[in-house]
Amino acid sequence: MATSSRRRGRGACLSFLGVLALFIPWPGTASLAFGSAPLGAGLGRRGLLGLVPAAGADDGKKRNLDASEMAKIVRQDLVERQFLATADFSPEIYDESCTFTDEIDSYQKDKFIKGTKALFVGSESQVNLVGDVEVLEGGKKLQFRFAETLAFNFPLIHPKVTLSGTCTLTRGEDGLIVAYREKWDQSVPEVLLSGRL
């Protein structure tokens, strides 16, 4: 009996604190009870949802962009920032769990960035967009062709290889890129044999 009373007391206390929290002016929100709004203004599900930021709302990600806008950003990343050789792409259009796959292996985003920056000399590499960035499957995928010369970051010398291929970017439900897939026109041995100083 005493335990049941304690449970009811704790539940009632938590309920009271929950209601009280609605009237406290938390940082970054207006008080529902005080100021210019009348007592109880904005209550209800819609009012409460306005107080709680949506998941990921402040992470800087550009969710649900129109596919043509997404293609424009990818084009800039490729042409201006040479991201296949530098890994300098717009992180706001990629999901944090995005997987990057080429003909050699698959990598998580952080490893792809770190590995690309360590492996290639961006200033001595050249990436060309062949054609344009295409929107496929009603905006669920973006695809482009590329031709590139990559300078390896070896001590003293920077040998270069050339290759071409197709890159497909798959978007998730929220429009962010969740998969990056490179397919080369050449085999891995052919790419390595193209090396020159």
Domain positions in the chain:
2-51, 67-193
Fold of 67-193: Nuclear Transport Factor 2; Chain: A, (3.10.450)
Summarised one tens digit per residue, pLDDT across range 74-123 is 999 999 999 999 999 999 999 999 999 999 999 999 999 999 999 999 99
Whole-angstrom CA distances from 127 to 20, 22, 83, 86 are 59, 55, 8, 10
Residue 106 bridge partners (DSSP): 101
Per the prediction, the chain carries an average pLDDT of 80
Summarised one tens digit per residue, pLDDT across range 33-90 is 334 444 444 333 333 333 334 455 578 999 999 999 999 999 999 999 999 999 999 9
Q: 29 in the Ramachandran plot: left (φ > 0), alpha (ψ -120 to 50) or beta?
A: beta
pLDDT in the model for residue 142: 99
pTM attached to this predicted model? 0.71
